[in-house]
């Protein structure tokens, strides 16, 4: 009698770390604790990121993790970028997003969409001393990203760009931008084109830096383009295919934000755990009270669940699997957990948690952005629902 076997889907990538990944993670963690942590409060209060730290990011190879060695990078994997973002964000989410944008958005887009000549021209800079930024959003185009008004017109050997970009992370520090503009607003998303724009191109200006609730040391700036001239050879990918670059790059970026929120949640939880063992009430540590124990246990459980989502999505990306649903779930859940954990951490500290003398109030402020940038929580839910219901 013949048997019919049901085809079994291949197993999902494992989330466990290899020895090399563990060593890499531990080195980044040590750097974050020793070099970054002492500067976090001052940077947050001033709203300015220490340039010396960015130089150290480059020296440690954290700004070009996936870039092949022939272009000056570390030749690593996307998963290692995620580990770096997590460990740095455990100490400071502002620092984490600088490393995140450089690796998961900017460098990833260059690696996937540039010509060989563009790779040789830009990747060595991005791995040695130049910060990158990703300029998609505008005042009138947030979740509706392709309703942008920034125009590009071909004039001879150059494109002339006019418009304004808003909410651009790394705007102050960046030397090169991946910037999206439309050649034909009537064409909708099919008119969108991506450009590689250098900070010193004529007609390009970095405008106001936003005064934000959280991740204050990370610059979030307006970009102003007034007859900004961009050489034809600086088109990224194909003319009219900018929407594809934007969507596919942001899918990867969502895993990076998940890693940022994972690190933030871990940092808040570790602070709350330590404080609960030091703080005494009614003659004993507050960690001896079941109410506090249950909160710490719930926080730790949710953090572990986020870790599984983040690591699995990153492994899927490295394995060449379709990870769009997993990336959306990762960002959605990680941002929810980070906000909950940071809020509970403030409560465990009590009145002290409401002051700037302790780190948890900053974790709480920083957590809020996770539900907003690189696709709001509602947009993640929409993506997940469409995929589950058989849409694209």
pLDDT digits (tens, 9 = 90+) for 92-141: 999 999 999 999 999 999 999 999 999 999 999 999 999 999 999 999 88
How far apart (Å, rounded) are the C-alpha atoms in residues 305 and 295? Answer: 16
pLDDT band, very low/low/confident/very high, at 15 (cuts 50, 70, 90): confident
Q: Which residues pair with 134 in a beta bridge?
A: 178
The continuous run of DSSP H or E covering 182 comes out as strand 174-182
Given pLDDT bands bounded at 50, 70 and 90, which one contains residue 392? low
Q: Where are the domains of the chain?
A: 19-131, 134-240, 244-388
Residue percentage of the chain with pLDDT more than 90: 92
Paired tokens of 131: 């910060």
Q: Rounded mean pLDDT of 73-79?
A: 98
**CA-based nearest residue to 341, from 236, 287, 284, 263:** 263
DSSP, collapsed to helix, strand or coil, labels residue 297 as helix
Q: What is the DSSP string of 72-99?
A: TS----HHHHHHHHHHHHTT-HHHHHHH
H or E element in which residue 234 lies: none
Q: How many whole angstroms separate alpha carbon 251 and alpha carbon 231?
A: 28
CB atoms within 10 A of CB 351: 7
Report which of 19, 277, 188 is spatially closest to residue 27, judged by C-alpha positions: 19
Residues with Cβ within 8 Å of 177's Cβ and at least 6 positions away in sequence, in order, are 132, 133, 134, 135, 168, 196, 197, 198, 199, 223
CATH assignment of 244-388?
A: 1.20.140.10
How is domain 134-240 classified at the CATH fold level? Butyryl-CoA Dehydrogenase, subunit A; domain 2 (2.40.110)
Q: Alpha-carbon distance 299 to 346, whole Å?
A: 13
Can you tell me whether residue 39 is helix, strand or coil?
Answer: helix
Instruction: Check the CA dihedral 165-177-326-300 and report its sign.
Output: negative
Its sign, for the CA torsion 288, 290, 291, 297, is positive
Residue 144's pLDDT band (boundaries 50, 70, 90)?
confident
Of 222, 252, 361, 374, the active-site residue reads 374
At residue 154, the 3 state secondary structure works out as strand
Are both 134-240 and 244-388 of the same fold?
Answer: no
Instruction: Summarize pLDDT for 282-304 with one digit per residue, the tens.
Output: 999 999 999 999 999 999 999 99
CA distance 66 to 77: 5
Distance CA(168)–CA(135), nearest Å, equals 6
- Nearest Cα neighbor of 365 from 353, 377, 376 is 353
Active-site annotation holds for 374: yes
Q: Is 74 in contact with 32 (CB distance < 8 Å)? A: no
Checking if the pLDDT of 1 tops 50, the result is: no
Q: Exposed (0-12), middle (13-18) or buried (19+): which is 179, by Cβ within 10 Å?
A: buried
CATH class of the structural domain 19-131: mainly alpha
Position 14 pLDDT exceeds 80: no
E strand or H helix that includes residue 275 = helix 242-278
């Amino acid at each position: 009698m013949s048997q019919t076997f049901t085809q079994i889907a291949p197993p999902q990538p494992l989330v466990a770390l290899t020895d090399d990944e563990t060593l890499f993670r531990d080195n980044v963690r040590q750097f974050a604790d020793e070099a970054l942590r002492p500067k976090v409060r001052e940077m947050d209060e001033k709203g300015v990121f220490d340039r010396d730290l960015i130089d150290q990011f480059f020296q440690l190879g954290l700004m070009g993790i996936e870039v092949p060695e022939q272009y000056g990078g570390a030749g690593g994997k996307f998963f290692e970028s995620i580990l770096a973002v997590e460990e740095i964000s455990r100490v400071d989410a502002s620092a984490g997003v600088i490393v995140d944008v450089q690796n998961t958005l900017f460098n990833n887009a260059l690696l996937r969409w540039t010509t060989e000549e563009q790779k040789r021209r830009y990747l060595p800079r991005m791995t040695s001393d130049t910060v990158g930024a990703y300029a998609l959003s505008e005042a009138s185009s947030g979740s509706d990203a392709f309703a942008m008004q920034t125009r590009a017109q071909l004039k001879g050997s150059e494109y002339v760009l006019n418009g304004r970009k808003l909410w651009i992370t790394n705007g102050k520090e960046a030397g090169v931008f991946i910037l999206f503009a439309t050649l034909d607003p009537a064409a909708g998303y099919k008119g969108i084109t991506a450009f590689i724009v250098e900070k010193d191109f004529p007609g390009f200006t970095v405008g106001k830096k936003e005064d934000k609730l959280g991740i204050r040391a990370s610059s979030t700036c307006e970009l102003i383009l007034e007859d900004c001239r961009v050489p034809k050879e600086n088109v990224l990918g194909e003319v009219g295919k900018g929407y594809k670059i934007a969507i596919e790059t942001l899918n990867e970026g969502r895993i990076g934000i998940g890693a940022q929120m994972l690190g933030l949640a871990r940092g808040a939880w570790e602070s709350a755990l330590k404080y609960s063992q030091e703080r005494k009430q009614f003659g004993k540590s507050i960690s001896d009270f079941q109410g506090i124990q249950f909160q710490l246990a719930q926080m730790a459980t949710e953090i572990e669940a986020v870790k599984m989502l983040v690591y699995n999505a990153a492994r899927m990306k490295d394995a060449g699997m379709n990870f769009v649903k997993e990336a959306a779930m990762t960002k959605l859940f990680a941002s929810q957990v980070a906000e909950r954990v940071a809020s509970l951490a403030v409560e465990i500290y009590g009145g002290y948690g409401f002051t700037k003398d302790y780190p948890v109030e900053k974790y709480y402020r920083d957590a809020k952005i996770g539900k907003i940038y690189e696709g709001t929580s509602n947009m993640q839910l929409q993506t997940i629902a469409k995929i589950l219901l058989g849409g694209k």
